[in-house]
Amino acid sequence: MTKKDYYEILGIKKDSSKEEIKKAYKKLALKYHPDRVPEDEKKNSEEKFKEISEAYAVLSDESKRSAYDQFGHEGFDQRFSQEDIFRNFDFENVFREFGFGSGGFGNIFDMFFGEDRRERRARNLKYDLTIDFDEAAFGIKKEIKFRKKVLCDKCGGTGAKDGRLAECRHCGGTGRIKKVQRTMFGIFQQVMPCKYCESTGQTAKEKCGSCGGEGVVYDTKELKINIPAGVYDSARLRIVNEGEESRFGNGDLYVYINVKPHEIFERKDYDLYLTTDISYSQAALGSEIDVPLLKGKKKIKIPSGTESGSIFRIKNEGIQYLNSSSKGDLFIKINILVPDKISGKERKLLEDLANLRKEKVNFRKGFFEKLGF
């Protein structure tokens, strides 16, 4: 299902300022927060609140807003997960500014990611990988090595000796602690995850000696990943469940791709560009030249009278599109090469040409400049 435009969701224009975006969100947040509507309207209100909060989290962040404006919903969703959208977004601070106090919206992340997921799920990891230009163009499999937290074999990730757990005395085994707060907008009840038992309702009777009660230990991981053909510089690949480990769910591994520049080719989107030199005689009389490709070479015809700066195109010799068999094109820019030195015979021929065309040139100095090279 196609998502609704974020600007439409907040009822604002695409050139709206930060203050206008915040004002629009505040108005809608007051209207749709589930704690401020009757019980029979909570479900619809919650969905609407999630929608406006997602829109605000994107449009209030300059880099995310820029990416959204550039790529639209489909392209943006390929680059940002739900957790990426809300990462570094301080709901508590935003709602404090709105006058709700510090605890009125504590269940926001439960709405988006499932109950207590923010608190319990393991951390995502980042890995920077540098590859060659050709590897990005054609795709490759790479083996990477990195350190991360993995589940302790001795306690199975519980942090308890022999895996034995007891009821948490702070939450009474519920995994949640209730907090009631009075604000100028009314009374809000916040159900918070219990930090003492990580929302499980259980704590260790005795700490595991292998992991010190943490439930995880550090280990070195080797992983083979597939780099798809057409991947671009600064692209991010998400490897699900290969981040740090937890018995409540693993994090993800994000591989950031750095592509080395090519010696002769320049990439723009999925097209390739190169500049090639030809002689004055080839430009004037026409010729056939070999053009390098990413693999092999191809002949192209240079028509007579070709000017310096002329551009020729070879279709389907660019970069392969991601997840597609289609390719971009190769564009060749012509540069007419003027030699630093010429033989006496070459000079005589050029002087005869200048006389034939009745051109006024200095035969001793500045000859080539006068010819317009």
Closest Cα to residue 58, out of 97, 99, 25, 98? Answer: 25
Task: Write down the mean pLDDT value for the chain.
Answer: 84
Q: Which residue has the tokens 């510089």?
A: 233
User: What pLDDT does 108 receive?
Assistant: 53
User: What pLDDT does 280 receive?
Assistant: 87
What distance lies between CA 105 and its chain's CA centroid?
29
User: What pLDDT does 101 receive?
Assistant: 45
pLDDT in single tens digits along all 373 residues of the chain:
456 799 999 999 999 999 999 999 989 988 887 666 676 777 788 888 889 988 998 999 888 898 888 888 777 876 777 767 776 666 656 666 665 544 444 445 555 555 444 456 789 999 999 999 999 999 999 999 999 999 999 998 888 988 888 899 889 888 888 777 666 555 666 677 888 887 788 888 899 999 998 899 999 999 999 999 999 998 999 999 999 999 888 999 999 999 999 999 999 999 999 999 999 889 999 999 999 999 999 999 999 999 999 999 999 999 999 888 999 999 999 999 988 888 888 888 888 888 888 877 665 554 444 444 4
Task: Look up residue 210 and give its DSSP letter.
Answer: T
Residue 224 one-letter amino acid:
K
User: What pLDDT does 288 receive?
Assistant: 96
> What is the CB-side half-sphere exposure of residue 187 using CA atoms within 13 A?
3
In sequence order, the β-bridge partners of residue 44 are none
Contacts 24+ apart (CB under 8 A), 20-26: 21/56, 21/59, 21/60, 22/56, 22/60, 25/52, 25/53, 25/55, 25/56, 25/60, 26/98
Interacting residues of 61 by C-beta distance below 8 A, sequence separation 6+: 88, 89
Cα separation, 107 vs 177, in Å, equals 12
